[in-house]
Structure 1
Amino acid sequence: MTERRRFFPARSVQQVPGQTVGLQVRLRPTAAPAAAAAAEVVCTGWLVPWLCAATPELIAVDVLPDGTTEIHGIYYDPETGIDYGGLESSVWVGAPVALDGTGRARPIPGDGFVCTELQINTTYYTAYPGRHFMALAPGGTWQAEWDSATTDPLVAASGHRAIVAGSTLAVAALDTETGDDTIETLTATAYSGATQVAQLVLRTHRIAT
């Protein structure tokens, strides 16, 4: 049987029986954690997929005196049956993210190049550049109103409709019949909290007979 041995300290830890040992702890103050910075709200501008697909010879590109870029359609394409003249105007802010073979800006949105204004012909026989558009402002909110609205500010007199859902703005335009020459304007403003970060404009044009 193995002998079990017990070990004891050479001297007692507590020198004076019946007394307690007091410890004093000093805490060094630390700085409060910094509040997380709010994410910057950036607006995409108008997103128009069909516009991005236009071949260079079917659109005109001009740099305006204020430094913005104006792009509009100029030709009817017999091969596709698309009348690019339906895009009456689009205004772009910033430096282009893509250029065509002659050095002109391509109508492609990207970091620092956004479409802030659109004017389209909504007369039923002109489909280009489409009837559905969108803009995003992640982390922000939108306020929008048609100048021709009667009761609901998101619905134009002709039936064009804007849809606001959090940081997303969508527009569903309708084909319009010929009649009086009419332009209806949607103004949409993006906010970060109470601060305006962007304003977009969409004009729909009904051609007179």
Structure 2
Amino acid sequence: MIELAVFDMAGTTIEEHGAVYEALRHAVEATGVTVAPADLQTWMGTDKREAIAALVRIGGGSPDAELVERQYEVFRTFLKQRYEEVPPEPIAHADKALEELRARGVKIALTTGFSADVALPLLASLGWAVGGDGNLDAVVTADEVRRGRPAPYMIHRAMEKCGVLDVGSVLVAGDTVVDLEAGTHAGAGVVVGVLTGQLTREQLEAHPHTHVLNSVADVPGLPETAS
């Protein structure tokens, strides 16, 4: 039985209309390098500072710490503007799925390649919160761990926050390859790819997983989540 469901944020539980993709490309290309779409997709879902450094390097640039921090601010400013223009919203029926899982006793954690300065205001804009009357049991941001996805650390940190001991009782779901890789590296019992991001079923199914679903709205229908 699943004790903890760990979901990615942008593209998985939150519809942000491609803003992260655009912001990351803008921040990297502002340094004068060109970003190939395939490389950009490879680094989606990862820690955004790591992604900026990697993509600048792939494009032939030299990303020192000062440049990375400066371009992260470019990323954050661009993303904030896009969110103001087109506000993010929950993926269709995602909030209902979270409520249904919690009603069955499954704890809910969100993990993200965002740092807290981006993730927490985003969640607040949706009315999502941890504890009390909130709909979440934990949020883990990329700046809480030594390394973000595809490393398993955010998932293990979510387990720590939620008091879950058995990684086999953890479900991980996300819309990118690194989400699937992180779940696999963590040893999660259920690793789910969802089709609400930029990747096709075939692209997700090429990587280790247990299920590929249309949306997180379908997660409560998995036999593993039955109470």
TM-score by length of 1: 0.25
Higher RCO structure (Cα 8 Å, ≥6 apart): 2
For normalisation by structure 2, the TM-score amounts to 0.23
Which has a greater percent of strand?
A: 1
Q: Kindly name which structure, 1 or 2, has the bigger radius of gyration based on alpha carbons.
A: 1
Higher helix share: 2
